[in-house]
Amino acid sequence: MSPLLLVAFGTALALLAAPRLAAAGWVARSPRLGVVAWLALSAGVLLSALLAGLTLVLYWDCAHDLAAGAWHFCLDALLGRQDHRARAIALAGLAALVLLGARLGLSTARLYTTHRSLRSRLRLLVRAAGTSHAVPGATVVTHPEPAAYLVPGPRLPGRPADIVITSAAVDRLQAEELSAVLAHERGHHEGRHFEATRWMRMLAQAFPGAVCFRLGARQVDRLVEMCADDTAARTAERLDLARALVALAGSPGPAPDLALDGGDALERMHRLLDPPRPLSLLQRAAVATLCAGGVTTPPLLAVLERTFLVL
């Protein structure tokens, strides 16, 4: 029974919970909790699919016998002990498994390689053309378009954020606005937003047919910008950050995918100028409970199957 429940639970998360979460208004009031919710939802979908297959094979005798029989059938066919039709079926099944594994592996490797290459190119650019004297805490590169961004990479202990800002942005922004921009980028670094966005993008690339993962990748990109805005607002004026967002909006700069004006710029503007009321403690506790349930329910359902078998 639990494999069916796991499939139903994962399907409900992917087809029902994901669209509702994307349309929920509370995530703008607590974007950090919204990011956690998307990570929990994606983990719940993956765990449901994985554990459904494992429980089906390990705990159901008929499924176990079927899997073992299929394995021996394929092995005999590949060794020439079956007829040509059986050998073709076995080869097709083997090819499907290899292609699926290759798809997952290549998608993951491609994303890691892309990020590593991007970091290397940006750091090479910074070393070649940047200067750290004009703006403390950032490296200034000469570029005609105003832009500011954080060089992507994992947060390492004792290592400061690699913030890059163009000379055009330095010329256009006031001192208070520039400080707000740097605080925003440090917020990305301190919040480990790179890890969250990389995880969701990896899922979206590995499972392109899963709408929930593509939707989650877009939503997490949107929410981490709000998180960084909130972090910056602790030490800078919201109005200064809003002005900087307007000044930098639409400018590609040397790395457009990493620019400050990421996410929904208009939504961020409204949120900066008219901050939403934070979630209450009870509301945050309710969301946290749902997130925990999304991750823990699949293992509990899998254990439930084994418990019933023992009894």
Closest CA to 249 of 264, 238, 233, 265: 265
The answer to whether the Cα torsion of 211, 267, 256, 117 is positive or negative is negative
10-13: list long-range contacts, CB under 8 Å, 24+ apart: 10/44, 10/45, 10/47, 10/48, 10/49, 10/52, 10/298, 13/41, 13/44, 13/45, 13/48, 13/212, 13/294
pLDDT tens digits, 227-279: 999 999 999 999 999 999 988 876 655 555 555 556 688 899 999 999 999 99
Residue 175 token pair: 């001192």
pLDDT at 75: 58
213: pLDDT strictly greater than 90: yes
- Residue 184 CA to residue 234 CA, distance in Å, equals 10
pLDDT tens digits, 9-27: 999 999 999 999 999 999 9
- pLDDT confidence of 95, banded at 50, 70, 90? low
For tokens 């979630």, what's the residue?
Answer: 279
**Mean pLDDT, the chain, as a whole number?**
80
pLDDT at 51: 82
- Residue 194 CA to residue 188 CA, distance in Å, equals 7
130: pLDDT strictly greater than 60: no
Cβ proximity of 87 and 78 under 8 Å: yes
Cβ proximity of 207 and 213 under 8 Å: yes
Cβ neighbours of 238 (radius 10 Å): 17
Q: What string of DSSP letters covers 141-179?
A: E--SS--EEEPP----TTPPP-EEEEHHHHHHS-HHHHH
pLDDT tens digits, 175-211: 999 999 999 999 998 898 988 998 898 888 888 888 9
Residue 252 token pair: 């590609």
Q: What does the domain layout of the chain look like in residue ranges?
A: 60-279
Residue 27 token pair: 């995530």
Label residue 35 exposed, middle or buried (CB < 10 Å: 0-12, 13-18, 19+): buried
Identify residue 107 by its one-letter amino acid code: S
Cβ proximity of 18 and 212 under 8 Å: yes
Maximum mean pLDDT: which of 67-81, 110-124, 143-157, 197-211: 197-211
Cβ proximity of 191 and 32 under 8 Å: yes
Q: What's the predicted TM-score (pTM) here? A: 0.79
55: pLDDT strictly greater than 80: no
Which has the higher per-residue pLDDT, 129 or 301?
A: 301
> Residues 205-227: what's their mean pLDDT?
92
Contacts of 107 (CB under 8 A, 6+ apart): 202, 205, 206
